[in-house]
């Protein structure tokens, strides 16, 4: 290989690496405390997309039993535990620090919404759930965590 070929190869490699860093498709992967602090959601890779599941609840037990998905519109799913429940699916990179095309399930209401998310400064994540278009929705700001909080005493 010629010297020019090596130089162009290095330029291509550095450019590709820089482009990959700029997009950071895995940037939101990790633990996030919901805005009201009732839950912690772990965002993780699911094939080429991002998904999220509940990994901590402020009140994991109600009436002596684990909290269940009691508001689910499907009768057969109402007895499944909320802890470990996948509530986010299908988020794909959409520009720098943004992901869209996903859906989010709210176990408190039993409703599922289209959703998008954007990584903000200071380790915060803006998550917007909506019906039809983002204009008709609601946003929450989640905070990144390094580790799961301790469970409250029972």
Fold of 26-145: Lipocalin (2.40.128)
Could you tell me if 62 and 69 are in contact, meaning their C-beta atoms sit under 8 angstroms apart?
A: no
Percent above pLDDT 70 for the chain: 81
The confidence band for 21, taking pLDDT boundaries of 50, 70 and 90, is very low
User: How many Å apart are CA 131 and CA 124, to the nearest integer?
Assistant: 23
Q: In this predicted model, what pLDDT tens digit does every residue of 83-112 receive, in sequence order?
A: 999 999 999 999 889 999 999 999 999 999
pLDDT at residue 4 greater than cutoff 50: no
Cα 29 to Cα 42: distance, rounded to the nearest angstrom: 7
CA distance 114 to 132: 8
Band of residue 12 on the pLDDT scale cut at 50, 70, 90 = very low
CA–CA dist 123, 132 (Å, integer)? 28
**HEC per residue, the chain:** CCHHHHHHHHHHHHHHHHHHHHHCCCCCCEEEECCCCCEEEEEEEECCEEEEEEEEECCCEECCEECECCCCCCHHHCCCECCCCEEEEEEEECCCCEEEEEEEEECCCCEEEEEEEEEECCCEEEEEEECCCCCCEEEEEEEEECCCCCCCCC
Torsion of CA 73, 78, 81, 86, to 10 degrees: -20
What average pLDDT does range 136-146 have in this prediction?
Answer: 95
Q: What is the pLDDT of residues 52-73, one digit of tens each?
A: 999 999 999 999 999 999 999 9
The pTM assigned to this predicted structure is: 0.80
Q: Would you state the pLDDT for residue 151?
A: 63
Domain ranges in the chain are 26-145
Provide, rounded to the nearest whole percent, the portion of the chain with pLDDT above 90.
71
What is d(CA 16, CA 19) in angstroms, rounded to the nearest whole number?
5
């Amino acid at each position: 290989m010629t010297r020019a070929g090596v130089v162009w190869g290095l330029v291509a490699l550095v450019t590709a690496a820089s482009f990959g860093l700029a997009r950071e498709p895995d940037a939101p992967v990790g633990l996030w405390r919901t805005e009201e602090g009732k839950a912690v959601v772990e965002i993780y890779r699911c094939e080429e997309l991002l998904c999220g599941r509940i990994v901590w609840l402020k009140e994991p037990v109600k009436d002596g039993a684990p909290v269940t998905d009691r508001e689910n519109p499907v009768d057969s799913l109402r007895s499944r535990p909320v802890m470990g429940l996948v509530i986010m699916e299908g988020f794909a990179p959409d520009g720098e620090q943004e992901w869209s095309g996903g859906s989010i399930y709210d176990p408190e209401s039993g409703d599922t919404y289209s959703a998008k998310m954007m990584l903000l400064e200071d380790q915060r994540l803006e998550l917007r759930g909506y019906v039809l278009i983002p204009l008709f929705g609601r946003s929450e700001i989640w905070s990144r965590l390094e580790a799961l909080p301790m469970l409250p005493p029972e």
